[in-house]
Amino acid sequence: DAMVIQNPRYQVTQFGKPVTLSCSQTLNHNVMYWYQQKSSQAPKLLFHYYDKDFNNEADTPDNFQSRRPNTSFCFLDIRSPGLGDAAMYLCATSREHGETQYFGPGTRLLVL
């Protein structure tokens, strides 16, 4: 009965090689979020979608893009991963803005 699903759980990529992380939800929530979390730090919001409306955080690097083709799926594209992009990437959903966010298990990205 998983509600927020992330695939893969572990991803290894090479420096500069594009990579896509995926997230799906069975909650039919309007809002989907992508966070980056580095060791011993709090999750940092990269961007979020309300339905198809995209909202980018001001300090999110241009290297990070996102797509939401439908309500259930949201993708994080890293165009040219650098060593500093190695982190846990968390997807979350909420029914509406300002409501509880539910997180997926995360994808741990390793950049070689």
Partner 1 sequence: GENVGLHLPTLSVQEGDNSIINCAYSNSASDYFIWYKQESGKGPQFIIDIRSNMDKRQGQRVTVLLNKTVKHLSLQIAATQPGDSAVYFCAEIKGNTPLVFGKGTRLSVIA
Binding site for partner 1 (CB under 8 A): 4, 6, 33, 40-43, 45, 48, 90, 92, 96-98, 100-106, 108
Task: Give whichever of 85 and 93 is closer to partner 1, judged by the CB atom.
Answer: 93
Taking the C-alpha atoms of residue 21 and residue 65, their distance in angstroms, rounded to an integer, is: 11
| Comparison of 51 and 80: residue with beta carbon closer to partner 1 | 51
Instruction: Concatenate the DSSP letters of all residues of 39-107 into one string.
Output: TTS--EEEEEEETTEEEE-TT--TTEEEE-SSSSEEEEEESS--GGG-EEEEEEEESSTTS--EE---E
- Least separation in angstroms between residue 30's CB and partner 1 is 11
The least CB distance from residue 89 to partner 1, in Å, is 10
Residue 80 CB, shortest distance to partner 1, in Å, is 26
Q: Which residue, 81 or 106, is less far from partner 1 as judged by CB? A: 106
**Beta 53-56 vs 64-67: how paired, if at all?**
unpaired
